Amino acid sequence: MLADEASPGLAIVILAVFLAFRYLLYPTLLSPLARIPNAHWSSPISRLWILGIRYTHRENRILHALHRSLGPVIRVGPNELSINGIDGVRTVYQGGFEKPDWYSVFDNYGVPCMFSTRPAAEHSARKRSISNIYSKSYIQSSQSASAQGREILYGRLLPKLLDSTSKMQVPHGIDMYSVFMATTMDFISAYIFGIENGTNLLHDEALRDHLLEHYKARSDYSVFDQELPRLTWLCRKIGIPFWTVDAANKELGEWCMRLCDVTKKASIMNNPSATEACDEPVVWNALVGGLAKETKTSGSSSVLYPTALTNVDLSVASELFDHVLAGQETVGITLSYISWRLSQSMDLQADLRAELLSLAPNMRLDRDESASMPDPKQLDALPLLHAVVMETLRLHAPIPGYQPRETPELPCQIGPYLVPGGVRIAASAYSLHRDEKVFPEPEVWNPTRWLSSDGDGEERKKRNRQFWAFSSGGRMCVGSNFAMHEMKLIIAAIYSNFTSHIVDDAGMSEQSDGYTGRPVHERLFLRFERVV
Ligand code: HEM
Ligand SMILES: *[C@@H]1O[C@H](CO)[C@@H](O)[C@H](O)[C@H]1NC(C)=O
Ligand SMILES: *[C@@H]1O[C@H](CO)[C@@H](O)[C@H](O)[C@H]1NC(C)=O
């Protein structure tokens, strides 16, 4: 009798002791992570604090401030670290730590793409098949890229700006945030699908607004899927949908699938040798060719992308959906910040224009409004243009946020700490780009910091090492060369013939705090004047 009465009580006590040990004592005192400074007193025992600042869009700023007082490695959750030292970054990102499931929201049509793939072997197989056409040398010598750029700049963008100088709209200016988003979508989709089968959002403003709205919904609400995947799974299961993300994904997915279908049809119908340069679907060709080669060499038993080999169409669409997303908003945000900063200094615009007109041929419009494309190598080598782009990517990084990775099975050394496997660990461009030892007065936009040439180049090496807008290591941005070339080309085309002036820049000085950082109001009204 006595024993029977005592046992439930005893069980409760044992359970309580176990829980206290497992969830309080162990994580705060005994875990190998216990030696690491805590971002918040509750960090060792709960994710609530970090989820809270993430949800309220304060993570980048708060963690950056905490790193300044607590050092380069801090614990932000029971199983999660934030780092901001360049040595830790090298260990994690150049060391090939794999991505966690956090990236699976970027699986499209239920199929992984390169960006969302977790295992390193699968990832590098895919990267091998497409990195060539995104390399600097390929882009600089590509007839297709050049023909597409010419059409978009001189056939679409500059006429639009010319128009804005002559019409009634002059006092209101023109919303360059929207124009740049259209330009960048037109650029990347032309390179992927060919100019005919890509978008023309510079003309089609209704489709532009529609797509941009869906992209916004997607990035505003995917945080639930990323941070609380089980909870969101359960919500969907019991019928609580995440309307905005799900609807946006469906719509954008169908739109991209149509672009893929049209390109596939054209590739079957057209004789490739008779296709004009600007119609070449460069990325599509490389990807489809790569998958075909993979099937040939590994047959159907391939462990690499088993779905890719059985459903080529879905895999191609998933990959290209991601490029269209990654290649558009990042570049559009950066261009908006470049033109905003330039619009604040007529002197800087004059210096930049002098540099641009030194190109031979340059991008000045002649009397019949036609113009030349510059030599890509010459364009790339212009020091002031390069400095303006780099400084904008530093202070206004379009992906300022944390890029999570997972520590590998065997414990690894991060700074002075030995970190066990399976721990989420991340660095951010926001924090790395505000290290005043490398970038004095980090909050000041000052392109000349990229021009100063010290004797032994030590400063320059330090700057380039710390520059992290495109990440680093094996998962670094595959589109960085495309983005740099495209941005330089667009800025050169505009500022060779126009000056820009601010009409309404409300919200530009505040960039949203999250994985991607947009100007909070997502608009920038500028007025253009033709230079004579
Ligand atoms: C200014 C423009 C751009 C910036 C700042 C940027 C930044 C980044 C960053 C930070 C990453 C790594 C993200 C992470 O691991 O969480 C990344 C990856 C990637 N970016 Fe970009 N990007 C830009 C333009 C482009 C363009 C034009 C493309 C066109 C295809 C592109 C395609 C990709 C892809 C496919 C990945 C995944 C690479 C991999 O997993 O191996 N990006 N980008
Ligand atoms: C796709 O592009 C090809 C040229 O490469 C063109 O012949 C075809 O008409 C285009 N398809 C559509 C639907 O625009
Ligand atoms: C812009 O184009 C006009 C010709 O249409 C030309 O006269 C002018 O010099 C150009 N401005 C610059 C800065 O190239």
Mean pLDDT for the stretch of residues 519-523: 95
* Lowest-confidence region among 158-167, 425-434, 464-473, 482-491: 158-167
Please work out whether the CB of residue 389 comes within 6 Å of at least one atom of ligand 1. Answer: no
Q: Reply yes or no on whether the pLDDT at 271 is more than 80.
A: no
Mean residue pLDDT of the chain comes to: 90
Pick the more confident residue, 1 or 467. Answer: 467
Higher pLDDT, 76 or 162: 76
Whether pLDDT at 461 is above 50? yes
Looking at the predicted structure, is the pLDDT value of residue 371 above 80?
A: no
How many angstroms separate the alpha carbon of residue 357 from the centre of ligand 3? 10
Closest-lying ligand 1 atom to the alpha carbon of residue 283: 30
Residue with tokens 């966690």: 100
Distance CA 6, CA 366 (A): 96
Tokens of 149: 């750029």
User: ∠ at Cα 514 (241, 412), nearest 5°?
Assistant: 105
Residue 257 C-alpha to ligand 2 middle, in angstroms? Answer: 15
Q: Which listed ligand is nearest to 532 at the C-alpha?
A: 3
State the DSSP H helix or E strand holding residue 184, giving kind and residue range, or none if neither: helix 176-193
- For residue 206, pLDDT over 70 is answered with yes
Ligand nearest to C-alpha 148: 2
Compute φ and ψ for 190, nearest 5 degrees. Answer: -65, -40
134 in Cβ contact with 482 (< 8 Å): yes
Is the preceding peptide bond at 37 cis, omega within 30 degrees of 0? Answer: no
Instruction: Tell me the mean pLDDT in the region 520-532.
Output: 92
- Place 6 in a pLDDT band, splitting at 50, 70 and 90: low
* Residue 159 · residue 287 · CB < 8 Å: no
Beta strands per DSSP E along 310-423: 402-406, 412-414, 417-419
The span from the CA of 299 to the CA of 342, in Å, is 54
Q: For 318-370, what is each residue's pLDDT tens digit? A: 999 999 999 999 999 999 999 999 999 999 999 999 999 998 887 777 666 66
- Structure-token match 């030349």, residue found: 372
Instruction: Give the DSSP H/E element, type plus range, for residue 160.
Output: helix 158-166
**CB 186, CB 201: distance < 8 Å:** yes
β-pair partners for 175: 525
Helices 205-227 and 229-237, packing angle to 10 deg = 110
For tokens 């019409």, the residue is: 167
Ligand approaching nearest to the C-alpha of 496? 3
| Cα distances (angstroms) measured from residue 518 to each of 57, 86, 161, 281, 514 | 12, 25, 23, 30, 9
**Distance separating alpha carbons of residues 281 and 301, to the nearest angstrom:** 29
Our answer on whether the CB atom of 277 is closer than 6 Å to any ligand 2 atom is no
* Three-state DSSP state, 331: helix
Q: Is the CB of 115 under 6 A from ligand 1?
A: yes
Query: Has residue 419 got a pLDDT over 90?
Result: yes
Contacts with 139 (C-beta within 8 Å, 6 or more apart), sequence order:
133, 145, 376, 481, 482, 485
Q: Is the pLDDT of residue 301 over 50?
A: no
The atom number, within ligand 3, closest to the CA of 363 reads: 14
Per-residue pLDDT tens over the stretch 230-245: 888 888 888 877 666 7
- To the question of whether residue 278 is assigned a binding role by annotation, the answer is no
- Of all ligands present, the nearest one to the C-alpha of 93 is 1
CB 317 within 8 A of CB 284: no
* Digit-coded pLDDT (tens) for 437-452: 999 999 999 999 999 7
pLDDT for position 229: 85
CA of 106 to the centre of ligand 1 (A): 12
Helix spans in 396-428 (H): none
Q: Are 288 and 129 in contact (CB under 8 A)?
A: no
pLDDT, residue 449, reads 93
Residue nearest to atom 26 of ligand 1 (CA): 327
**Mutation choice for ligand 2 from 148, 151, 197, CB with most ligand atoms inside 8 A:** 197
CB of 327 sitting under 6 A from ligand 2 = no
Helices (H), 194-311: 205-227, 229-237, 243-269, 282-298, 306-310
pLDDT above 90 for 41: yes
Report the pLDDT value the prediction gives residue 506, as an integer from 0 to 100: 96
Model pLDDT, residue 169: 59
Q: How far apart are CA 516 and CA 509, in angstroms?
A: 15
pLDDT at 92 over 50: yes
Atom of ligand 3 nearest to the CA of 498: 13
pLDDT tens for 49-86 read: 999 999 999 999 999 999 999 999 999 999 999 999 99
